Amino acid sequence: MIDGVTDFWDKLLGAQPDPPGLLVLLTALAGFLAVSFRPVWRVARNAVTIAHEGGHALFALLTGRRLRGIRLEFDTSGLTLSSGRPTGPGMMLTLLGGYIAPSLVGVLGAWLLGGNRITLLLWLAVALLLLMLINIRNLFGVLSLVITGAIVFAVSWWASDEVQAAFAYAGVWFLLFGGVRPVFELQALRRRGRMPESDADQLAHITHVPALFWVGFFLIVNLVAVAAGAFLLAGQWLPDTV
């Protein structure tokens, strides 16, 4: 019994072998193409929405707001409701958390991958999905999180080290790149008057700073996150490519 528990923790917290440098580069290309190719993006974007709404929820809880629920929709949109003061730092940070969350999660993942903690990364993803599931308030949201969590768990439990590495790196690259595109989509919709209550517009109402400033803020943070994530992963491919 004790040996089994020890083996489990060793597997969870231990470092996996260094992945081939080519794998890191190919998964980066796969993540970029998944974000760039519209038919793939329309499906895969759901993972970004999960991170986006999770960001709203996390910042709401960290600032003392009461989380009322999260909805994930079939069209990859989402909604996170919290109660508390309608203005002030708590509401501001809650609104800020959405568009920057996918890229920041990607940076965290890149940091773990930089230390070859692939299994730990996958299990943390499962744990976060389960915590988020508690607050989901619609059927599609439940199905989306259960299916996503089941896939991640299956890879972490049964897949080989090589498959785990490919899955983890592709997921991290996708979140890094996937945090950028929604910002451009946000501004395109705003320009056509189709998102008058966007996060950026709500921030503008609270802070009296133009919404375009907040769109630019989202973009800068996410681009810096891509650069930081690439830097953290650089050591994984440079030794094999020089």
Interior angle at CA 223, CA 145 and CA 42, nearest 5: 40
Length of the chain: 242
pLDDT over 70, % of the chain: 90
Tokens representing 164 are: 């785990």
pLDDT tens figures, 197-215: 999 999 999 999 999 999 9
- The pLDDT of 29-42, averaged and rounded, is 96
Cite the beta strand spans of the chain per DSSP E: 66-72, 78-83
21 pLDDT band (50/70/90 cuts)? confident
Reduced to 3 states (helix: H, G, I; strand: E, B; else coil), residue 77 is: coil
The answer, yes or no, to whether residue 34 has pLDDT greater than 70, is yes
d(C-alpha 68, C-alpha 18), whole Å: 42
pLDDT tens figures, 60-119: 999 999 999 999 999 999 999 999 999 999 999 999 999 999 999 999 999 999 999 999
- Residue 46 contacts residue 39 (beta carbons within 8 Å): no
- The pLDDT of 10-31, averaged and rounded, is 82
Q: Residue written as tokens 């709401």?
A: 60
d(C-alpha 133, C-alpha 17), whole Å: 32
**Number of neighbouring beta carbons within 10 Å of residue 29:** 12
Q: Could you tell me the pTM of the whole model?
A: 0.93
The answer, yes or no, to whether residue 35 has pLDDT greater than 90, is yes
* Predicted local confidence at residue 6, as pLDDT: 58
Tokens representing 107 are: 């940076």
* Predicted local confidence at residue 241, as pLDDT: 44
* Predicted local confidence at residue 46, as pLDDT: 97
* Predicted local confidence at residue 4, as pLDDT: 53
242 pLDDT band (50/70/90 cuts)? very low
Q: What is the DSSP letter of 76?
A: S
The answer, yes or no, to whether residue 40 has pLDDT greater than 90, is yes
pLDDT tens figures, 182-191: 999 999 999 9
What is the longest distance spanned by two Cα atoms in the chain?
Answer: 62
